[in-house]
Amino acid sequence: MRPGLSDVLVVVDAQNGFVSPASAHVIPVVVNLVDQWQSAGAPVLMTRYINYEGSPYTRLLQWSKMMQDSPEIDIVPELQPYVARSHVLDKRVYTTFTAEGKDLFTRHAWKTAYIVGLDTESCVAQTAVGAFENNVRPIVIVDGCASHAGAQAHDAGMFVMRRNIGAAQMTTSTELGFKVPMAS
C-alpha cells in the first residue's frame, strides 16, 4: 500500500501517561508506521489527550491523570523526531473528531483515516466511530493499537469496533504491506 494525500495516519494519544507494560509493545510498530508514512510524503495527525479539573473524567470516573501541567501528556520520546512534520491536535475528549479535528479533515480533504494508538477501547474506538460518523473511512491497524489496561480492554475495543465500523475496516500493518519491526 502506498498512502495518498487523501489518506492520513492518525496516531491517537501515544503519550507517556498511556504507556504501560501492557501497551509499550505497540510503540515500535507506531514509530515504524509513522516513519514509513512520512517517508512516502503522506500526512500524519498525532493527537494528545489533555484532562482538566471538572472534566467528566475527574467528576464521573474520579480519574485525574493526564492533566495539563503533567509530563504524562507528552508524546512518547520515540515519536518526537516525527512531531515537527505532523499535524498535532490537542483534545479534551476521547475522539479525534472534535470541531478542530473535523476542520483538519475538511481542510486537507482527508477521506481515509488509518488509525493506531492508545487506548484501543476508548480513544482509538471513539476516533474510529467518529471517522465513520463523519463520512471518513476508518481503517484500524490492529497491531498498532493497545490499551494500558491490558489485553482484555484491547480485545473489548476491537470487538466493539468490528461491530460499529465493520470488520472490513480492521487490518494489520503487514496486510497493508508495511515493513514490521523485528521484536527485540
Residues 58-112: tens digit of each pLDDT? 899 888 888 776 689 999 999 999 999 999 999 999 999 999 999 999 999 999 9
Q: Which residues have a Cβ under 8 Å from the Cβ of 62 and sit 6 or more positions away? A: none
* Cα angle value 92/78/169 (rounded, 5°): 60
CATH of domain 7-171: 3.40.50.850
Digit-coded pLDDT (tens) for 20-73: 999 999 999 999 999 999 999 999 999 999 988 898 898 998 888 887 766 899
pTM score: 0.94
Distance CA 184, CA 175 (A): 21
Query: For 42, which DSSP code?
Result: -
- Would you tell me how many other CB atoms lie within 10 Å of the CB of residue 111? 15
Q: pLDDT value at position 184?
A: 47
Domain segments of the chain as ranges: 7-171
pLDDT at residue 182, as a whole number: 53
| 113 touches 139 (CB < 8 A) | yes
Query: What pLDDT does 69 receive?
Result: 66
CA distances for 180 relative to 20, 33, 34, 177, angstroms: 21, 8, 12, 9
